[in-house]
């Protein structure tokens, strides 16, 4: 690490600043804070993977995937969840507005799905129990 901690953190600070400038948010709203938090988390995770972790630590890792879709609520209260996904939030918001203004008048909501894929170390012969949180 550099003698001056501030100097050592300058590249990370540049990543954070770039993310803040590039992420459109609506300040003062929970959605704006959530969007900014997600963008900063992804940027710092990528920075860490490239500059902090040992080489090869993430050879098979994949980036965080984010998608949005619009769910519509039936009169029974059940949500229709098998809706098309959008890579762009603005597209999903447009679909939401169209759904809300539609002929049926059923409530709609925008749902964001974030997927993180983690590559685990190969199991050893002593690893017989399923991983915590696993459904196997």
Specify if 125 maps to a domain. Answer: no
Residues 1 and 56 in one domain: yes
Residues 33 and 82 in one domain: no
pLDDT in tens, 51-81: 887 776 666 656 778 899 899 888 898 998 8
Residues 56 and 80 in one domain: no
Question: Which one of 45, 60, 75 terminates a domain?
Answer: 60
How does residue 110 score in pLDDT terms, banded at 50, 70 and 90? very high
Q: What is the arithmetic mean of pLDDT over 113-128?
A: 70
pLDDT score for 9: 82
Tally of domains within the chain: 2
Residues 3 and 54 in one domain: yes
CA dist., res. 48 & res. 16, Å (int):
12
pLDDT at 131 over 60: no
- Give the three-state DSSP class for 1: coil
Q: Would you give the distance in Å from CA 23 to the centre of its chain?
A: 13
Residues 56 and 66 in one domain: no
Q: CA 79, 85, 88, 94: dihedral to nearest 10 degrees?
A: -50
Domain encompassing residue 24: 1-60
Specify if 130 maps to a domain. Answer: no
Greater confidence (134 vs 50) lies with 50
């Amino acid at each position: 690490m550099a003698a001056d901690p501030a100097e050592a953190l300058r590249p990370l600070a540049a990543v954070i600043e770039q993310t803040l400038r590039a992420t459109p948010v609506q300040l003062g709203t929970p959605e704006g804070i959530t969007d900014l938090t997600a963008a900063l988390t992804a940027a710092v995770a990528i920075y860490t993977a490239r500059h902090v972790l040992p080489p090869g630590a993430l050879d098979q890792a994949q980036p965080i995937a984010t998608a949005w879709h619009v769910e519509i609520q039936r009169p029974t209260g059940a949500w229709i969840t098998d809706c098309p996904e959008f890579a762009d939030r603005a597209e999903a918001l447009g679909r939401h507005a169209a759904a809300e203004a539609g002929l049926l008048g059923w409530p709609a909501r925008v749902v964001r799905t974030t997927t993180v894929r983690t590559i685990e170390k190969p199991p050893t012969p002593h690893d017989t129990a399923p991983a915590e949180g696993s459904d196997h």
